Structure 1
């Protein structure tokens, strides 16, 4: 294997020539990725199960669409306030202690949602859930940069983020089944059982992560000294696919305008994505599907297709060493799929087909975005930069459910919200193409 091929696979030539690179990274992935996926699945369920719970909550409590939309979005305010401090703390104390703190606390709060009776209690607990979960996602993204070079990061982040899509696959049947079949058990409503059953596992997984994971390759007893050296060598010879910033300090990172442009892209992307996450059950219900279990099953199909799509697109991006146009293609696919869904209202099969296409694009866009982000940021600014971009971007997810909830409540139909979502996706792709240059283009300019 020559040097060019070695760079394409993210390995140092000496390791690539032995044919050991694939085996080593497979060993690393099988050790750390399954648990991270499990943690993220639970985290994601605790975020989005409100989309299913509200179908019963609004019947039993004094909750309208506007209250629900605001409560769904206020989670991200707490997330925004504490995300950067959490990631900086992770860099100091390590991933194990950080995951223990985050997951144990958010599991207790997520289960505590079962006691909500008033809008104020709903807002407070959603805010606290965001506070305690803050730093989880950007912390994992930072953690992956300790193990994988850029050329392998696209597929790895896609596999990790497949947790959200897999969670969507099981969320519908699981949430629908709990609310339908456990409703009234021991005097509790179905939505109360939903929060309890899906909240407590987070605390248990936080404890498991503390004892099972290692903060960095150097701490891993299951790696030999030569394997640790190989991982370190590959990271030191990292060959990135987008033009990289030259931040020598945190101050330079905070003054970099492009960081805030990337945050704007994520703001648009996440705002559109969480609108879909929170309103898909309502959207499917508007197609004439009344049974909660059926709503859950229909919502699972697009997510199942999205799992395969996002991994294949992430792998294709790694193989070709290209990020920007893969991202732009993904958000365009999302917009086209939503357009089909909107135009075929009333036709269940065609609407599901359009939604499935949209989910392929939606699921693929976020891992590509964070692969670009980790390649752009310098080592000095990575911890704070990933968290800053993520926290600012999460404000989009805070605003969009409230905005689209108000639109839906005013118009009586989710269709107009879909037009807004399509525009947000397309705009995020255009801005990223204009803001980020490829590494090849940078080298050409410098030459």
Structure 2
């Protein structure tokens, strides 16, 4: 590809994007990289993370000490440079032949020289570049990050905590000697967001397209405050008992019993400043009313719209609309009910809910099966193939607690009997 064609490609709206992290170690770069990758994949933008530290670990096998990261360690510099180039080579393969739209290049990238190399690489291949710099000088946040994340790294598998912390702090000092932060004047032509003190302040420069806008919007909503998100479906409804999908029926007797059980469970949890969200449908509202706490209704949390199939049984759909029934089995995520919605549509509808969940602390979301699947897929990083078949049984609460690079899930069955509404994935060719 010649220079003109590369330049032309960069000028196009939908050319691939390379997200590049910048910052000292233990500043949350990998946390940001993983969350961004998860979010972009969830909204349908094929994204992959390339962690240069992992390339270095794969190359070296055994980590000895911070000495490897000294600026006067020529051998170390050579290996680190080679690992970065190997990662960029894989980025190129992913964005040009691997079906990728966004690649996240997760490394310190602390020098202007390294960043210039990455920009040249992107320009030569027709990629847009967006830098994400994480700046933090709060010693408590840095120490917590080291203990929570870095001590579990393969680098320190044979070290005690004190030795590991001491070595990692020395590693940070090695990077500090050559660190050149993104500069408002010197880097005015670059596209970037600077995240300061884990989201207390932001500096945004030269956002060029909708992908970069969404990245900025997302990063301005996330936080690291410890919290839990509780997801559950409404109590069993009258239409659930009849085996009918959709509709807007009220709760069955067992559904009302679940509401009482949910109230007891929430009280036992002693959750600080819990917010409760429901859909605008009767069965979620009736479930939340029993809790005796304020709740908010979200239209975005309404169940997937089954269109002409609303309030029908699966057997009736198969008899009345055999072609539609077969098409849904072939691609449940993208299949759209006639005059209704697909799971793909539902994900787009739920994006504002995800953004608000990221901003909040403790929240209980009382929702519906398809909605809960979409929310759960976001937090557990599940793809489009798996999402429509995630098990979300009635009368069960899922407690999601964000941890270092993922989410801890606790499933609590409240021991109130209910019908099983889960339909398993059909076998291929059946």
TM-score calculated relative to the size of structure 2:
0.22
Query: Which has a greater percent of helix?
Result: 1
TM-score calculated relative to the size of structure 1:
0.21
Bigger relative contact order, structure 1 or 2 (CA pairs below 8 A, ≥6 apart): 1
In terms of Rg, which structure is larger? 2
